[in-house]
Amino acid sequence: MQGMYLWRKVSIVFLLTIFLLFEADLLTAQSGLPATRPEPRGFASIKLGQDVETVKEELKKESYFNYRGDPDVSFLPHTEQILIECSGFTYVRRGYFQFNDKKLYIIIIELNRDEVDYFSTYSALVAKYGEPTSITPTEAVWDYKTSRLSLEKPLSVKYVDKGVLKKLVEEGKAKKSFADTALDDFLKQF
């Protein structure tokens, strides 16, 4: 009889534990933030918040990028921001690293669609960061307190430091994105 009582007690504790874990996961899912997942801060050794010189040194070490030094560094037109743009190897087609006040705040990695596909990239991001906060036909977004990660179609991964972006917007200094600026410059050639 006492064994049966102990078994019930253990069963109740076990079920209660399962219920509490389920509730914690449910609350985390409702908040939009993964419970035990790391916040995305960058690709490989290149992280949001690093200074220009550190990113240059890391790009030289990274086997996925063909960084050639200062010829790959430029100032964005009509801004005081620095952009490092370089081609990549194997899985990476191009990399864009945008700085404000000499600190990295946007990383865009265009992936090589001949070597990697959207679904594989999406699956790897879900495995590391959990389900996206939002998903549309054009992008999957993981939104965190200080950063935002997006997987965009056709196939690019973007990391954004939300604090810097918010500051730029509030100061009225936020400019068109690099792609918009490049398109504008291209269209002016006609």
Q: pLDDT tens-digit profile of 17-44? A: 333 334 434 444 444 544 567 899 999 9
Helix (H), strand (E) at residue 43: strand 42-43
2 pLDDT tier (thresholds 50, 70, 90): low
127 within a domain of the structure (yes/no):
yes
Instruction: Report pTM.
Output: 0.72
87 within a domain of the structure (yes/no):
yes
Q: The domain containing residue 168 runs over which residues?
A: 43-187
28 within a domain of the structure (yes/no):
no
Outline where the chain has alpha helix (H).
2-31, 52-61, 118-129, 162-170, 178-187
9 within a domain of the structure (yes/no):
no
**Overall domain count for the chain:** 1
113 within a domain of the structure (yes/no):
yes
38 within a domain of the structure (yes/no):
no
Q: Annotate 159-173 with b (16+ C-beta within 10 A) or e (fewer).
A: bbbeebbeebeeeee
150 within a domain of the structure (yes/no):
yes
Could you tell me what percent of the chain has a pLDDT over 90? Answer: 59
68 phi/psi in degrees, rounded to 5: -105, 5
> Which residue in this structure is represented by tokens 């504790």?
13
**One-letter amino acid for residue 156 of the chain:** S
Q: Tell me the C-alpha distance between 164 and 147, whole Å.
A: 10
20 within a domain of the structure (yes/no):
no
Q: Tell me the C-alpha distance between 30 and 36, whole Å.
A: 14
